[in-house]
Amino acid sequence: MDNTNMVVVTTRDSGILARFLIKPAAFHPWRDRATTQPTHQRRPNKSPALRARRLATLTFLPCSAAATVASTAMVSAEVGIDYVLWTEDEVSTRVGEVAAELAADLRALPEPAVIVGVATGAFLFLADLVRRVDVRLVVDLVRVESYGAGTESSGKPRITADLKVDVAGKHVVVVEDIVDTGNTLSYLIAHLEKKGASSISVCTFLDKPARRKVNVHLVGDGKFYRGFETTLLLAMV
């Protein structure tokens, strides 16, 4: 199987991929240690007992999903990949579907919506998304910090780089990479509402509702768009 076209998660990945995991085992910001160490120094693969326990959880998944995850997990074991979440084609297709849904809603607005990307985690998803939304848009970025150098939210977000665009009276779509606890997103929505946004929607690549600590309240006619949800995979992590 060709692993170059897969979106994968390992216990040593950094950034957005590491945040796919509920509790990442380690965080290395520059490189995957397993791919840089000589072969004789690398840690052995998971024990057969642990692999068996993880594969046993697949019985709770639909048959097709279980077969897919089981086969890719076993094939990928030698290269340090724990799970294949979605292939490149699946991601591309889903981003296109979300973009089409978003475009259909925004097309009815009397003036262009303001797309607010949350830097820097969302910029790849933001770029793919706006290229496929075939309506006029205004795009800006905001930086909200609550993770620091780790992957667990501190629960105390703060804006370190604000918008340049005036959102007063505008429909705003906040684009996120991941929504988990809801702390950062709720803080940002309140900030945009204070700036006078008439309605606020959210569009996230990945939603982790099981991690939610704060209910996310949209503004006006706002909607919640999601690419993927982790509910199916929570038992495997």
Domain count, the chain: 2
What residue numbers bound the domain in which 25 lies? 3-88
**Are both 79 and 98 inside the same structural domain?**
no
pLDDT of res. 151: 55
235 within a domain of the structure (yes/no): no
Domain-ending residue, one of 88, 115, 133: 88
Own/partner long-range contacts of 227-235 (Cβ < 8 Å, ≥24 apart): 227/91, 227/94, 227/95, 227/98, 227/125, 228/85, 228/86, 228/94, 230/20, 230/206, 232/61, 232/65, 233/83, 233/85, 234/22, 234/210, 235/57, 235/60
Mark whether 174 and 68 lie in a shared domain.
no
Query: Is residue 59 located within the same domain as residue 105?
Result: no
pLDDT for residue 133: 96
Residues 113 and 198 in one domain: yes
Whether residue 99 sits in one domain with residue 36? no
Instruction: Indicate if 100 and 78 belong to the same structural domain.
Output: no
Residue 237 within a domain: no
- Is pTM, for the whole model, over 0.85? no
Q: pLDDT per residue over 63-121, tens digit each?
A: 444 444 444 444 444 556 777 788 889 999 999 999 999 999 999 999 999 999 998 88
Domain boundary residue, one of 66, 88, 110:
88
Q: Is 105 a catalytic residue?
A: no
234 domain residue, yes or no: no
Determine the Cα–Cα distance for residues 172 and 169; give it in Å rounded to an integer: 9
Q: How many residues does the chain have?
A: 237
Do 105 and 57 fall within a single domain?
Answer: no
Same domain, 50 and 104: no
Average pLDDT taken over every residue of the chain: 74
Q: Give the separation between CA 11 and CA 18, rounded to whole angstroms.
A: 7
Residue of 13, 82, 177, 180 with catalytic role:
180
Q: Are residues 192 and 224 in the same domain?
A: yes
Check residue 219 and report its DSSP letter.
B
Q: Is 32 a member of any domain?
A: yes
